[in-house]
Amino acid sequence: MTSLQLVFLLIAAGTVFAALMVVLSKHLVHAALWLILVLAGIAVLFVLLNAGFLAVVQVAVYIDAIAILIIIVVMLTQRAMGPTKMHVNRNWGVALLTAIVLFAGLLALFNQMPALQSQAPPFALDAEILLDDLGLSLVDTDRYIIPFEVASVLLLAALIGSIMIAWPRGSASEEERET
């Protein structure tokens, strides 16, 4: 085992511990803070796997979003700033089962990938070439353009939906009355 593998395992263990703390922490804001640690740990794992771009995107997208999550937690939950009770309710058994099934499914999927079956590491490529390939594969009709477009349409629908939900009802008539 090389020192790099040791570092990888340590950070992975830390990430898993932080992920457990997200679920077990009694304070909602603390749970959000543990979640930051989980996401940062994943970013470090990306760096160790030579995926610098993904690491940077991970930090830019997720850690910025966590700040919003904390705001929502503080604003929408009662007495989020004070001590709160355990956040484990009676559905924990079902949640655990779902998590285990999901993990097993992912593991089975990854085991079928040909790159994982071979012993030699596949990423002997330059990081720049890999990045170019990632960008091109998102607009290539033979590769991932359909999932990419579906995801963007889904996000657009979510955006419009949230605007519709947040739209004040009867505001148009109020404005007419004012003017």
What residues make contact with another protein under the rule CB under 8 A?
Answer: 29-30, 33, 36, 52-53, 56-57, 59-60, 63-64, 66-68, 70-71, 74, 81, 127-128, 131, 179
> CA 29 to CA 84: how far, in whole Å?
10
In sequence order, what are the residues at sequence separation of 6 or more whose Cβ sits closer than 8 angstroms to the Cβ of residue 154?
none
Smallest gap from Cβ 163 to another protein, in A, equals 12
Q: Which is nearer to another protein, 64 or 142 (CB)?
A: 64
> CA 174 to CA 165: how far, in whole Å?
18
Smallest gap from Cβ 155 to another protein, in A, equals 15
Q: Which is nearer to another protein, 107 or 166 (CB)?
A: 166
Q: Which is nearer to another protein, 81 or 115 (CB)?
A: 81
Q: Quick one: which of 64, 6, 69, 70 has its CA closest to 40?
A: 64
